[in-house]
Amino acid sequence: MGPLTVVFDLDGTLIDTAPDLIDTLNVVLAREGLRPVNSAVARNMIGKGARRMIEAGLQAERRTVVADEVERMFGDFISHYSAHIADRSRPFPGLVTALDSLAAQGCRLAVCTNKLEGLSRQLLDALDLTDRFAAICGQDTYGVQKPNPEVLRKTIQAAGGGLSRAIMVGDSGTDIATARAAGIPVVAVDFGYSETPIEKLGADRLIGHFDQLQAAVRDLAAGFAVDPA
């Protein structure tokens, strides 16, 4: 049989990036003379991307959302965020041990995120995690992003795996929809940034800590067809 590939979302799944993303958002809003966005509200918007977070900040102040203005603020966001990408962002508890356990069992690990690939690598570099992943793919790697399943398919391929032996791990409806469209099972984490309660979104397995990941992956992998001799 070929290797089992486990593909992770990044923000809200591997890494708790909310502190640095929200800090960056509020710096950008302050430059525009706008009030900060409530942290709890902003946290649930992270999975929708920086532009959506900026739009929410504008809407909260009843400012008309103008595309050119959002793009200018997005540029400011990326510039500031890149300089502060790992000030307070940290792996979720148990992550490193879980990755070590999966790797020891021969799993190939990959990242499929709607974050820009360069920022994703910069963050993982800062946290000394990059080398654990056979592929790291962002929204700009192939010109498509989740929930388009093509980015997930290409990430699995880049990691040296195949769709018939792959599992997605994510924290949002977008991750679940992407896995479903690609035809692979999905494990959801309940500590991420989903705006809708994750337990309502129909993942194949739901975990509340990374110490539960190995068992969830094992259970799902047991359902894969055996390769013909």
Catalytic residue among 9, 20, 171, 204: 9
CATH code of the region 5-16+90-221: 3.40.50.1000
CATH 1.10.150, the chain: domain bounds: 18-83
Number of Cβ within a 10 Å radius of residue 225: 8
Q: What is 18-83's CATH number?
A: 1.10.150
Pairing of strands 5-8, 166-170: parallel
Specify the pLDDT at position 8. 98
Sign of the torsion formed by the C-alpha atoms of 171, 122, 142 and 98 = negative
pTM, two decimal places: 0.94
Retrieve residue 61's tokens.
């102040």
Whether 229 shows a pLDDT value over 80: the answer reads no
Confidence check: pLDDT of 207 > 90: yes
Q: Is 9 a catalytic residue?
A: yes
Long-range (24+ apart) CB contacts under 8 A made by 48-53 are 48/195, 49/114, 50/21, 50/25, 50/74, 50/77, 50/78, 50/81, 53/21, 53/25
Mean pLDDT of 202-216: 98
Residue 81 reports pLDDT greater than 90? yes
